[in-house]
Structure 1
Amino acid sequence: MASEAELIADLRCATGESPVWVAAEQALYWVDIPNRELLRWSAADGQVSRWQGEQMLACIARHGDCWVAGMESGFFALQTRPDGRIDSRALATIEHQLVDMRMNDGRCDRQGRFWAGSMALDMAAGHPVGALYRLDRDANDAPPRPQLDGFIVPNGLAFSPDGRTMYLSDSHPSVQKIWAFDYDTDSGTPTGRRLFVDMLDHPGRPDGAAVDADGCYWICGNDAGLIHRFTPDGRLDRSLAVPVKKPTMCAFGGSRLETLFVTSIRPGGDLSDQPLAGGVFALHPGVAGLEEPAFS
C-alpha cells in the first residue's frame, strides 16, 4: 500500500529522534539530540515549540504532564518552562564504560518501565560498549545495571501489543540485526534472544521503531529513506518511502492513531538531493498504531 510522505515540520534537525504522540494535546513531541532540544508540533495549527536542555536529549517518555528522558549521563525527569528552558532532575546516573557516551533509543514497556540503550559518541569507532538499561519505578540510589550489553548502537526498541515480546536492534553498519526476546511482564526481564530480521538482507540500517495494532514491527531503514513493516514472524510486508536518506524513528499518532510520524537526520555535506533532511514527516499507512505507554 502506497503512502505519500507529508512534511509537517521543516526544522532541519541535526538528529531528530524519539517522536511521541500525546493524545490529550493532539501534539507530537520529539528531540534533536546534539542540539539538546525538546520540540512540539501541534496538529491543530502546525505551530512548533522548542525547549533547550542542559545535556543531549536522546529519548523521552511521558510522565503525567512532565517527561522522563535518557540523556548523556543517565535518566532524568524533565519539566518545560515558559522561557524555553528545561528543568531537569537526575533520577539515575549510568556508569558508562567510556567517557564520551550518551543514552540513545528508548521507550516504556507496556507496564510503564522506561528502557534506554547507551552508545559511544564516536559511532565510527565501533566500540561494543553499548548496553540496555531499565529505569524501575522503585529505583534507589544505586546506578542501574545493564540488562543486556555488548552492543555498538542499540536501537529499534519496541514491545508487542501484549507486551510479551521485546524487539531490539543494533544499527551499526557492522551489525544491522534486529532481535526478538521473550519478555516477562511481571519482572521486566528479557530472555530467549533470537534473530528476528537480518537487515543486511534489506535496504537501510535498522534505526528507531514502532509496533502497530496488528503486532507488526515498523523500522526506519536509515541510509535508504524507507520505513519497513515486518510481520510478527519476521516477513517483510511493505516498505514506505520518505524524501530523505536518514529516517530515524517512527511513531503512530493522530486522532485515531492512523498517522505514522517519522523523524530524520540532517547530515553535513551536499544535500541538494534531499533538501528536507532533518524534517518530520507524516505517512498514512492504512493501519492503526498503539498508544505509547507513559512512565508510571
Structure 2
Amino acid sequence: MIDVEVAVAAHATIGESPTWSASERALYWIDIKKPALHQYIPESEALRTWPLTSDVGAFAFCEDDSAIVALRHGIYHLDLSSGELDLLAPPPFDPRLFRFNEGICDRTGRFWVGVMFDPVAPAPAHQKGHLHSFTFQGGLRCEDDIAELHNGMAISEDGKQFFLSHSREGIIYRFDFDSALGGLGGRKDFAQIPTGIGLPDGAAIDREGCYWCALHGAGRLRRYTPDGNVDREIKLPVSKPTMCAFGGEDLDEMYVTSAAEGIDIAEEPLAGALLRFRPGVKGIARSCNTGAVAKMARVAKRRID
C-alpha cells in the first residue's frame, strides 16, 4: 500500500516540471498558468517563489545561481538572486497559438523543449509544432519531431535512449540518442495509452530502467518496464497529475505535480497539490546543468539585442 501525502497544498493551476536540487536539498517546480517558479525545502518546509511574465512550460538550472525558463514569449535567463529576466531567444512560433511545454537537459547541458498548441486568441484547427533544443553557444535549434503536445521527456541512465510522448495521440516514443552529437536517432513506439485512460504526461526513470508516467485525467502514475509493459499503477488523490520526479537525499522519494485547471476545488480539494510518496525504488538524477554561466547568458542577450 502506497501512502501518498501532500508536500505542498499549492492549488497550482497547472503544476509542472518537479526537479530535485541535490545541493540545496530542495524541490523546484513551476505553475504554467499562474506563471512562477517555486522552491520547496522539505527539511524546513520553507517556500520561495519567483514570479514570471508569461506562461512557463519548462526550466533548467545553470551552473551558477540562475536558471533558464521557457516562457510563451521566448527562452529567458532567470537570475535566482534578483529575479531578473533576460531574453535569450525569441519564440520560434506565433505565441498567440503556441507555447513551450516540457523540457529536459541531456548530460552535455543541451536543453530540449517541446511545444503545445494552446491559443490565446481565436485560432484555426489544431496545429503541430517542432521540438527544439537550446544551448548558450548555438541558441535555439529546431529538431525533427513534430507534435501538437510534447510531453514525457526522459533520458536513460546510460544516455542512449530519449523518451518523448505525443500526448494528444496517446503515444510514448523511444528514440536512439547520442547527447554528444545532439540529435535524435531512430524512433520506436514504446507504449500507447488507450483513449479514455488519460493522456501521457511528464515522466521519470528509475535505477531499474523503468519509465514512470503521469496519466493526466486518469488520477494515476504508471510504471513501464524497459520493454514497454505496464508494471505498476499508483492511484493518486488528484485526477490531473502532470509530472513525477525522484527526490530526497537518496532519490528514494517521488514528487508529483498536479493541475487544478477546470476542476471544482470543492469536489477535488487536493487538485494542484505537490504530492510525495516512497515508490520502493530509487531514481536517477535529472541533468540540470545547462553548461553555461550568467556571463554567457549576457553575451547571448547582447547578440539578440
Distance in 1 between residues matched to 2:230 and 2:262, nearest whole Å? 31
1:1-296 equivalences under 5 Å are: 2-64=1-63, 65-81=65-81, 86-96=83-93, 99-122=96-119, 127-140=126-139, 144-172=140-168, 175-200=169-194, 203-293=197-287, 294-296=289-291
Q: CA deviation at 1:201?
A: 7.1
Q: CA deviation at 1:295?
A: 1.4
Percent identity between the two aligned chains: 36
**Contact map agreement 1:97 1:129 (CA 8 A) in 2:** no
Distance in 1 between residues matched to 2:176 and 2:138, nearest whole Å? 23
1:94-149 deviation line (CA, Å, top 9, x unaligned): 32156332100001012221100011214997623222101124225xxx332133
Distance in 1 between residues matched to 2:264 and 2:101, nearest whole Å? 26
State TM-score, norm by structure 1: 0.91
Give the number of equivalent residue pairs: 287
**Contact map agreement 1:98 1:120 (CA 8 A) in 2:** no
Q: Which shifted more, 127-136 or 286-295?
A: 127-136
**Contact map agreement 2:135 2:290 (CA 8 A) in 1:** no
Q: CA deviation at 1:267?
A: 2.2
Distance in 2 between residues matched to 1:295 and 1:95, nearest whole Å? 20
Distance in 2 between residues matched to 1:223 and 1:151, nearest whole Å? 20
Q: CA deviation at 1:151?
A: 0.4
**What letter is aligned with 2:157?**
P
**Contact map agreement 1:129 1:149 (CA 8 A) in 2:** no
Distance in 1 between residues matched to 2:238 and 2:22, nearest whole Å? 27
1:188-232 deviation line (CA, Å, top 9, x unaligned): 111211110011178321000111111111110111111111111
- The runs of 5 or more residues in structure 1 that have no matched partner are none
Q: Compared with structure 1, are the counterparts of its residues 231 and 26 closer, same or farther at alpha carbon in structure 2 (3 Å cutoff)?
A: same
Distance in 2 between residues matched to 1:258 and 1:17, nearest whole Å? 20
Distance in 2 between residues matched to 1:234 and 1:261, nearest whole Å? 22
**What letter is aligned with 1:163?**
G
SS in 1 for 2:79: strand
Distance in 1 between residues matched to 2:281 and 2:75, nearest whole Å? 33
Distance in 2 between residues matched to 1:97 and 1:148, nearest whole Å? 19
Q: Compared with structure 1, are the counterparts of its residues 15 and 98 closer, same or farther at alpha carbon in structure 2 (3 Å cutoff)?
A: closer
- The runs of 5 or more residues in structure 2 that have no matched partner are 292-305
State TM-score, norm by structure 2: 0.89
